[in-house]
Amino acid sequence: MAQIFHHSTNTIARVSIYGAVIVIALLGFALNVVNQTSYVTEVHNARPQPVPFSHKHHAGELGLDCRYCHSSVEVSSSAGMPPTQTCMTCHSQIWTSAAMLEPVRASYRDSKPISWTRVNAVPDFVYFNHSIHVAKGVGCTTCHGPVAEMNITWRAETLYMRWCLDCHTAPEKYLRPRSEVFNAYYQPPSDRLALGEKLMKEYKVQKLTACTTCHR
Amino acid sequence: MADSPADKLAEKMATAPILGPGHDFASVTDKISSIVLKRRPPKWWWVGFAIAFALVMLMLYSITYLLIVGVGIWGIQVPVGWGFAIINFVWWIGIGHAGTLISAILLLLRQQWRTSINRFAEAMTLFAVACAGMFPLLHMGRPWLAYWMFPYPDTMKMWPNFRSPLAWDVFAVSTYATVSLLFWFVGLLPDLATLRDRAKNPVAKIIYGFLAMGWRGSAVHWYRHETASLLLAGLATPLVLSVHTIVSFDFAFGIVPGWHATIFPPYFVAGAIYAGFAMVLTLSIPVRKVFGLEDFITMRHLDNMGKVLLATGLIVGYGYMMEAFSAYYSSDQYERFMILNRMFGPYAGIYWCLILCNIVTPQFLWFRKVRSKVGALFAIAMVVNVGMWLERFVIVVTSLHRDFLPSSWGMYYPTRWDFALFFGTIGLFLTLLFLFLRFLPLISIYEMRALVSEEDKKAEGWSPAD
C-alpha cells in the first residue's frame, strides 16, 4: 500500500506545532505595535484646518494667553472655540488683505462660523469638564502638549482611558500651582512629587477612579 | 425463591454483558467503522440532518436580528434581567457534565461499562458546551466586546473584576471546553488511524490521515497515548465539579432570596450530572436502535445509566427539600416569601411541573422492570430533560421577579425570539451530532477491542486479577 503522505510531512507537522506558537505570539506583538502608532492613536498627526492657524505664532511668538481665545475654560466643561469676532479683534487691523485669512473674513462677512476640525475629543460617553481640571492645578500643556510649538495643531496624547487613569490614580505626578496652569512653557521643579502632594492637600484633590466620575 | 420472575429478571440484569457474545477484534472494528465508511448515509440521517440544519438557520436568523436590534427583542426587563439566555446557558452546560463524568471519572474508577458510551457522551459534552457558550456572549448585548472579559493590556487600564463569579465563569467554561476537546481528540487518535487505514476514498484517507497525526500504533505511541489520556482524565475530573460549582456561584453570590444559599454548588453539580445522564440516555437509545448496536450498548449500560439517573435525581430532590427547609428555618421573611411565591405564586404551575418531572417521575427507576424497558427509560429521560430546564427557569425567574421591594415586582414573559434562539441551539446541537455520527466512529473502536480481549481472557478462565 502506498503511503498517503510523503515522509517530509513529519517534519512539517513538528515545525507547525512550534510555528503556530511563534506566529500567534508574533501576531500579538505586531498588533500591539500597530496599536501604538499614530495611524491608530492620531497622536502627532497635524490635522488640516480651513485656515492654517498656528498656535506657535499666536501663543508662542506673540505670547497670547490661552484664555484670550479659549475663554470659557475656567467656568465651563468646554474650553470654548473662539468666535470669528475674536480673530477680527486683531485681523481687522493687521494682515487685512492676506489671502490666507480670506476664510476668516468671509466668515465675519457672512456671519457663518469657521468649521475647525476637532483635534482633541473624548467620546460622547465620557463626561469631561475643563473648569474643574484647571481649578485643581492641571496645566493646559499637561494634556495638550507643547501647543506653543505647534504650527498646525496636533493631538499630544492618546486620550485613552488608560491615559486618563494614569493621572486620576496619581495626580501628584502632574499637578502644578494654579498660577502656572496657563504657562505654555512650564517646567516642573525637581521636587515635583513633593510639590504635587502639597498641592493635592491644598487644592483638596481626590483620586477619583469610580466609573461614575466620568461615565455618568 | 429464585424462581420468581422478579428474581430471574434481577439475575439477568446483573449478569448482562457489557458486550454482546461472539465478537472478535475484526467484527468490532467492522461494525463500528462501517457506519462511517459506508458510502451513503441512510435516509433517516438526511431527514434528521435537514430538520436540525433548518433549526440552525433559525438560530442564525435570530442571532442576526439580535445583533442588529439588541437584547430588547427578548423578554428580559427589570426586574427579571436574566431570562432564557441564562436558563439555557445553565441547562446546556449541565448537560455536558455527564460526558466528562463518564469519560474522566469512570475511566479513573476503571468502570468498563463506560467504554461504549464515552465517545458520544464526550461529543455531546463538546456540542453542549458550544451551545452553552453562546448564551452569555449574546446576553452581554455587545458580543463584539466579549474579549474585554479576558485580562489583557488594554487601552482602558481595565481589568476583569476577579471578585465576581461572572469573571470566573469565563475561565471555568473556556477551560472546560479546551480540556474536553483535547480529551476527545486524544481518545479519537487511534480510531482516526483505523479509519485512515480502512478508507477507500482518497480524500477520506487524507483527511483521516491528517487528523490521525501520524499514528502508527507502535508501543511508544500506545504508551504515550495512555499517559496523555490519564493526565487529561485527571485534569477533567475536578472540572466535573468545579465548572457547575462556579456556575452556581453566579447565583449564590447574589443576595437575591432563592439564590443566596450554601446548598447551591452541590445541588447544581448533581443537577448537571442528572441532566447529562438523561441526555446520554435520550441520545444512546435511538442511536443503538438505528445503527443496530445493541451488542455494544447493552441493557447493562442502560440499567446502569438508569441507576445513576435515580441517584442524582434523589440528590436533586434533596436540594429542593433543603431549599424549602432553609427558607422556613431561616425565619427570614423574604426567604419564606420566596419559597411560598414559588409554590403558589404566578409561576406555581411551572414549579409543580418541575417537581413532577424531576422528583416524581424518576421514582419509577426503582423498579427493575422499568429499567429493563427501553421505551420507558427513554420517556423518563425526556421528562428529566424537560424538568431540568424548568428547574433553571424556576431558579432564575421566580427568584428575580419578586424580591425585596413589592414596588419593583414584575413578570417575565419570553418572546418568540427567546424561543427561536433556544430551539435554534437545539438544532445546532443535533446538527453537530448528526455530523459526528456520519464522520467519526461513535463508539471507541480501540477500547472495544480491549474489551474483547478482556472478555476472551475471562472465557479462558483468567481471573480479573491476572
Beta bridge partners of residue A43, listed in sequence order: A155
Beta bridge partners of residue A46, listed in sequence order: A154
Q: If contacts are CB pairs under 8 Å, which of residues 17-46 in chain A contact chain B?
A: 32, 35
pLDDT of residue B359: 94
ipTM of the complex: 0.72
Give CA–CA dist B55/B37, Å, rounded.
27
Show the CA angle centred on residue B393, arms to residues B392 and B395, nearest 5°: 60
Q: What is the mean pLDDT of chain B?
A: 89
> A43 is written with which cell numbers?
497622536
pLDDT per position as a tens digit, B95-116: 988 888 888 888 888 777 788 8
pLDDT per position as a tens digit, A22-75: 999 999 999 989 988 999 888 999 999 999 999 999 999 999 999 999 999 999
Output the pTM of the full model. 0.86
* Percent of chain A with pLDDT strictly greater than 90: 87
User: Which residues, other chains included, contact A1 with Cβ-Cβ below 8 Å and sequence gap of 6+?
Assistant: none
Give the count of beta carbons closer than 10 Å to the beta carbon of residue B62.
Answer: 23
Q: Does A5 touch chain B (CB under 8 A)?
A: yes
pLDDT per position as a tens digit, A124-143: 999 999 999 999 999 999 99
B205 → chain A, closest CA residue: A4
Would you say B313 and B267 are in contact if contact means Cβ atoms under 8 Å apart? no
- Cα distances (angstroms) measured from residue B310 to each of B236, B265, B364: 24, 19, 9
User: Which residues, other chains included, contact B12 with Cβ-Cβ below 8 Å and sequence gap of 6+?
Assistant: none
> B92 is written with which cell numbers?
446546556
Give CA–CA dist A98/B353, Å, rounded.
86
For residue B270, give the nearest of B240, B250, B246 by alpha carbon: B240
* Average pLDDT score over residue span A116-130: 93
DSSP string, B205-241: HHHHHHHHTT----HHHHHHHHHHHHHHHHHHHHHHH
A166 → chain B, closest CA residue: B157
> B416 is written with which cell numbers?
418568540
Cell 438560530 identifies what position? B59
User: CA of A73 to nearest chain B CA: how many angstroms apart?
Assistant: 26
Which of A17, A27, A158, A162 to probe by mutation at the B interface, max B CB count within 10 Å? A162
**Contact residues on chain A for B155, CB-CB shorter than 8 A:** 35, 158, 160-162
> B150 is written with which cell numbers?
479576558
Our separate counts of H helices and E strands in chain B read 18, 0
Torsions phi, psi of A204, nearest 5? 55, 55
* Average pLDDT score over residue span B187-208: 90
SS3 A46: strand
